[in-house]
Chain A
Amino acid sequence: MKKLLAIILSAALIFSLAACGTTSATYTIGILEYSSHEAQSLAIQGFMDVLTEKLGSEVSFDRQHASGDANSATLIANNFITKNVDLILCDNTQSLQIAASATATTPVLGAAVTDYARALDVSLVSQSTGINVSGTSDLAPLDSQAEMITELFPEAKKVGLLYCSSEVNSLYQINAVQQYLLAKGIKCEEFAFTDSNDLASAVQTACDFADVLYLPTDNTIAECTGIIDDICHVTKTPVIAGEKGICTGCGLATLSIDYYKLGRQTGMMAYEILVNKADITQMPIEYDASCTKMYNTSIADNLGISVPEDYIPVE
């Protein structure tokens, strides 16, 4: 029995490792996808599209998904390094940290990662990391988002800031927005939750407290917009969201960055590195320059709010 097991295991080992072989394309790009998230998937799609347009069959992608597990992500990174990929693309803070730990030489690009300095424990010198990591940030201008709250709700006295305590970037955004609002004399309160289990009670408390809720770009919130909408619909609390996906689910309005476009922007950076041999250590982190004000029509109807002309409906 034991021998049989050993034989099966070793056979599986050999066959599987044979499958780890390389492809014939000039450039192989490993995509380390940490968790399924609409915005992140769009960015990856944009990244792949622009490179396929530019390089055609010269580029091949190895897209692997870690199901939100750091251990799987570490093994995937190990797999990429073994296969000698030419570039690794990461879609969030953790996957970027793992890839940056895994290699000091292979270029690592982040697509829509919020805060590079914090993620990598480096200080940015003229927006570049100085190491083999660069990329695009999905940080929408936070002061403009906060301004949106005062623009749409000049009467608002109390703003509730909801975020998931396990996401490091959310707290960062909350703090920035809070600073702006406090300067305007608006009272702010933070409502942190741990996961989808205690989200509902946090939202309920926040709605009871606040005139307006602000939700940052937060993966857990993005996954649970249904819960938030159910509660806010009843209490008629308007929600200003950090990104489009959350706005579609439960937000009244958002200042949206285009993740697909950001992905394309990242793809162009990859092109520069691979084809034009640009030095990644000197490449500045890029942002999406063109933000659009968007609003959710059905939620605006429910709240009986009419938004200014320059807001476009979110689909």
Chain B
Amino acid sequence: MSIITSIFNALPGAVAQGLIWGIMAIGLYITYKVLNISDLTVDGSMCTGAAVCVMLTIAGMPLPLAMVCAVIAGMLTGFVTGIFHTFMGIPAILAGILTQLSLYSVNLKIMGKANQALSVRNYDLLVSLQYIRNVPIWKNAIFVVSLFVIILIAILYWFFGTEYGCSLRATGSNLNMSRAQGINTSFNTVVGLMLSNGIVALSGALLAQYQGFADVQMGRGAIVIGLAAIIIGNAVFGKIFKNFAFKLLAVGLGGVIYYIVYQIVICLGIDPDLLKLLSAMVVAIFLAIPYWKKTYFAKPKKGGTKNA
């Protein structure tokens, strides 16, 4: 097998998986970058989305409707975190951790057990590991998930351009100033968290279909992967992509890069016990690059001595 063909063969799987996680990262971007809070709910809401989608599909609901319900369930989890944070005054990180913890029980109850299969043989799923090769283009997992990413970005771009969307962004950039302008910041925070977790749940629903099951453990560590995608996307495309829509795209692509690197690690046969360490190191390096650039490689400003 030549190198070129093996490149074409091995990558699509990683790209599809990366795009699904890219959707998750776009959801996280809304809280992490736009609202400027770290929301740990995502570790639980990802599984909630998967669980709701899987259980409703098995119960006979049409898949698109089941996915809509999954998104709504995800938004509810965001609502709970939002209430914890704004109404009950719990710090955002802690509020997210509390919701995430309770979601473990909720997800178990939704599924009735720890793991529920959703086989592509029995149901007509949107995406599956099997839909990577030898399927028509409109059924290809990469195509389907890309479509999701593009539509999602378009909707978010429109939304954050509206008057209300602007007030949401303002809430994230300067809470006190926004309040001074008459913006209901608590309400906006709750809406932002709901939006974010709804998107995360959507990615969970896609992931469950892609891998063929929902598992109560599946969202564990999701936030790290999401942050990695945001950071990698920003480090690689930050200079080229200035527009908000492109920034979201960069996040999605960040997820793809993360999974391509991951696939390479697996292909290389590096001791898999070290995988977690490696992914933490990848994130740390991508985080460090912008900082190093600023500290060690920045050119001194002109007129520095004269103005001193």
Contact = CB atoms under 8 A, between A and B. Distances in A.
A72 B272 contact: yes
B113 interface: yes
A303 interface: no
Given A74-B17, A102-B130, A120-B117, A14 B267 contact: no
Interface string A154-166: 0000000000011
A280 to B, nearest CB: 14
Contacts of A122: 119, 121-122
Given A1-B297, A74-B17, A75-B263, A82 B272 contact: no
A257 interface: no
Contacts of A93: 115
A312 B216 CA distance: 38
Contact of A101 (B116, B211, B218): B211
Nearest to B276: A67
A45 interface: no
Interface residues of A, number: 53
Interface string A1-37: 1100110010011101111111000000000000010
B7 interface: yes
B9 interface: yes
Contact of B1 (A21, A64, A66, A74): A21
Given A13-B264, A17-B267, A100 B13 contact: no
Interface string B95-116: 0000000001000100001111
B262 A168 contact: no
A165 B9 CA distance: 38
Interface string B209-230: 0111101111001000100000
A211 to B, nearest CB: 28
Contacts of A76: 266
A67 B121 CA distance: 28
Interface residues of B, number: 60
Contacts of A51: none
Contacts of B269: 19, 64
A77 to B, nearest CB: 7
Most chain A CB neighbours (cut-off 10 Å) among B114, B215, B261, B293: B114
B259 A75 contact: yes
Interface string A58-75: 000000111101111011
A19 B267 contact: yes
A19 B215 CA distance: 32
B10 A70 contact: no
B216 to A, nearest CB: 5
A122 B119 CA distance: 8
B129 A94 contact: no
B273 interface: yes
B129 A70 contact: no
A124 interface: no
A98 interface: yes
Contacts of B264: 12-13, 16-17
Contacts of A19: 267-269
B236 interface: yes
Nearest to B286: A5
B167 to A, nearest CB: 34
Contacts of B293: 1
A100 B273 contact: no
Given A97-B117, A104-B121, A79 B267 contact: yes
Interface string B154-181: 0000000000000000000000000000
A227 interface: no
Contact of B266 (A1, A12, A79): A79
B118 A121 contact: yes
A274 interface: no
B221 to A, nearest CB: 8
B120 A82 contact: no
A171 interface: yes
A24 to B, nearest CB: 12
B295 interface: no
Contacts of A131: 121
Contacts of A104: 121, 130
A177 B144 CA distance: 45
A186 interface: no
A41 B177 CA distance: 59
B281 interface: no
Nearest to A163: B114
B273 A14 contact: no
17 contacts: A14-B3, A17-B10, A20-B6, A65-B273, A67-B275, A71-B259, A72-B266, A82-B9, A94-B115, A101-B120, A101-B128, A101-B212, A104-B130, A120-B119, A121-B122, A122-B119, A122-B121
Interface of A: 1-2, 5-6, 9, 12-14, 16-22, 36, 64-67, 69-72, 74-79, 81-82, 93-94, 97-98, 100-104, 118-122, 131, 165-168, 171, 194
Top-5 shortest CB links A-B: A101-B212, A78-B13, A121-B117, A16-B264, A168-B115
Given A70-B215, A101-B129, A166-B216, 12 more contacts: A1-B293, A12-B261, A64-B269, A67-B275, A69-B275, A71-B21, A72-B275, A75-B14, A75-B259, A100-B119, A101-B120, A131-B121
